[in-house]
Amino acid sequence: MERSVSRWFEPATSVVFVVTSAVTALSLFVPSVLAALERTPAAGAGEPWRLVTALFVERGGAAEIALNLVTLAVVGTLAERAWGSRAWLVFYLFGGVVGEIAGLAWKPVGAGSSVAMLGLAGGCATLLLRRRTSPLLVLLGALLLAAGAVLTYLRNLHGPPLLAEALAACFLRERLPPARSPSERA
């Protein structure tokens, strides 16, 4: 059975993946790109765009960059299939900015999409707990929220976006569309 490209890739996830990959590749050859986009204390002192631009460039070694991009593709696709492209983009940016703000307090210099992805994971945790489709998925949702609490306690900037987005998904549960079936995505 042949699958169409549209069934494998979701539009918002694909665009963010391509942009993040391209900007990251450019930053490897032109280091000033990373310096111009990453989160720094300047974000709180007149350069607030850094809270968003830091989400579109990865830093670190090849393994960390690859892991973040693969996770973006997987978690992003699952979340976008659950919420749709517009809600996905709002949640991606909301979780990312929450993580970048936590980063200013706990790790002032950095960049990467991982905080936004953990935010998406927090929203997915709420969906798993709300829908209760299987005990294993409910357990996964609960474990994600517990991980968010532990990460926040440890002052890891990945915890706050996970918890903030889980709460946002709770408050917006009536506005979030139900999960789309595979036939509706075709």
pTM confidence score = 0.86
How many CB atoms sit inside 10 A of residue 173's CB? Answer: 11
Determine the Cα angle at 54 with ends 97 and 68, to 5°: 95
Q: Is the confidence at residue 5, as pLDDT, over 70?
A: no
* Beta-carbon count within 10 A of 61 CB: 9
- pLDDT band at residue 36 using 50, 70 and 90 as cut-offs: very high
Give how far Cα 52 sits from Cα of 113, 125, 134, 154, 169, Å: 10, 23, 36, 24, 21
Is residue 3 in some structural domain?
no
CATH of the domain at 98: 1.20.1540.10
**142, part of any domain:** yes
Task: Look at residue 106 and tell me if it is in a domain.
Answer: yes
Q: Residues 58-76: pLDDT tens digits?
A: 998 999 999 999 999 999 9
Q: Which domain holds residue 42?
A: 9-185
Does some domain include residue 15? yes
- In this structure, is residue 2 part of a structural domain? no
Assess if residue 1 is contained within a domain: no
What is the tens place of the pLDDT at every residue in 148-177?
Answer: 999 999 999 999 999 999 999 888 766 655
Beta bridge partners of 39: 110
pLDDT of 132: 80
In a domain, residue 155? The reply is yes
Residue 76 belongs to some domain of the structure: yes
72-91 pLDDT, tens digit per residue, is 999 999 999 988 999 899 99
Burial of 33: CB neighbours in 10 Å, binned 0-12, 13-18, 19+ = middle
Q: What is the tally of structural domains in the chain?
A: 1
Closest listed residue to residue 77, CA positions, set 114, 126, 141, 121: 121
**Contact (Cβ atoms closer than 8 angstroms) between residue 87 and residue 177:** yes
Integer Cα distance of 70 and 87 in angstroms: 21
